[in-house]
Amino acid sequence: MSYRLYCDYPNDQIDHFIAISSLEQNFHPALGFLQRNNYTAFNWHLYFAPRWFTKYGIRQLDIGLWDLAYFISQSTGELESWTNQSRPLGFILKSGDRFELNIQQSFDRLDNSFALTDSAIIPIGLYHMNRTEFVFNSYQARRFWVQLQYNFGKYYSGRIKTFATSVGINFSRHLNILTDYSYNIVNLPLFKVITHQLDQYINYALSTKLDISLFAQWNSLEDVMLYNFRLHWIPKIGSDCYFVYNRGYEGLNNFRFSHPSISSGAAKLVWRFVF
């Protein structure tokens, strides 16, 4: 069995959400996939966005009092993990640019060790972690926009620093591209792990009812290259037709375009009937 009970109040100045959910250990959905199972969860966030200091060029503040996700193992009743984020300082300028300072806390109970690399192992244990994050985002409706993110703090038995950037170009109302790059430095007691990830998006809208997109991603830790092509058609308002093709490669030192390790396609039609 699976259930979710929630109350949501999304508003301009106050955004409040609270939910209780549960998913049993042997639950198998007929369609779709699960990110995790065997849990009972409590989620609660409250954001406050008053329109203060407008004479200084600020359109709206963006203050996060808390954003909590709390997970208990459903079969044992033990605390599994929790995360919380507060935003003591955040604002959106009248130009559309925005800034965030986020304070993040988390807990994770590891019943099994896991490997970041073949030699860097995170051991079994109880881990309390704290991080600080700075985010700057320029207005995305401009022809050229950028987002910068810096995150640092504790990561399991070590520490982590993450730098991420996004660069977008809106060539026209039909074509835009987005490039994401992230760089991680993980310092563990005995090892240092450095990772790079590069994402590329290309979106082209032939009309308001037909668009195509191409997504490519490379991750240095896994040494994997993935491609995703999507065609989206809206035959009528309320209905959607999708065609998706995925292609992936492992071990790029021996890259051969005609020999992918992953090759799959899927089609989906959602048709709206009115009675």
Task: Tell me how far CA of residue 50 lies from CA of 14, 59, 90, in angstroms.
Answer: 8, 9, 11
Provide the CA 148 distance to its chain's centre, in angstroms: 15
What does the DSSP 8-state code read for residue 252?
G
Mean pLDDT, rounded, of the chain: 93
- pLDDT of 119: 85
- CB atoms under 10 Å from CB of 29, counted, come to 10
Query: pLDDT confidence of 35, banded at 50, 70, 90?
Result: confident
CB 120 within 8 A of CB 193: yes
- pLDDT of 28: 81
Closest CA to 270 of 244, 231, 238, 245: 238
What does the DSSP 8-state code read for residue 157?
T
Question: How does pLDDT run across 137-192, given as a tens digit for each residue?
Answer: 999 999 999 999 999 999 999 999 999 999 999 999 999 999 999 999 999 998 99
Q: Does the pLDDT of residue 253 top 80, yes or no? A: no
Mean pLDDT of 260-274: 90
In the chain, the domains with their CATH numbers are: 1-76 (no CATH), 77-270 (2.40.160)
Q: Does the pLDDT of residue 33 top 80, yes or no? A: no
User: d(Cα 83, Cα 108) in Å, to the nearest integer?
Assistant: 9
- One-character DSSP codes across 215-240: EEEEETTTTEEEEEEEEEE-SSTT-E
Mean pLDDT of 235-256: 88
- pLDDT of 31: 63
Query: pLDDT confidence of 32, banded at 50, 70, 90?
Result: low
Q: Does the pLDDT of residue 196 top 80, yes or no? A: yes
Question: How does pLDDT run across 225-239, given as a tens digit for each residue?
Answer: 999 999 999 999 899
Amino acid at 158: G
Question: How does pLDDT run across 112-146, given as a tens digit for each residue?
Answer: 998 888 888 999 999 999 999 999 999 999 999 99
Contacts for 86 with CB less than 8 Å, ≥ 6 apart:
64, 65, 66, 67, 102, 103
CB 260 within 8 A of CB 224: no
Grouping H, G, I as helix, E, B as strand and the rest as coil, residue 221 is coil
Rounded to 5 degrees, what are φ and ψ at 254?
-115, 45
User: d(Cα 260, Cα 249) in Å, to the nearest integer?
Assistant: 5
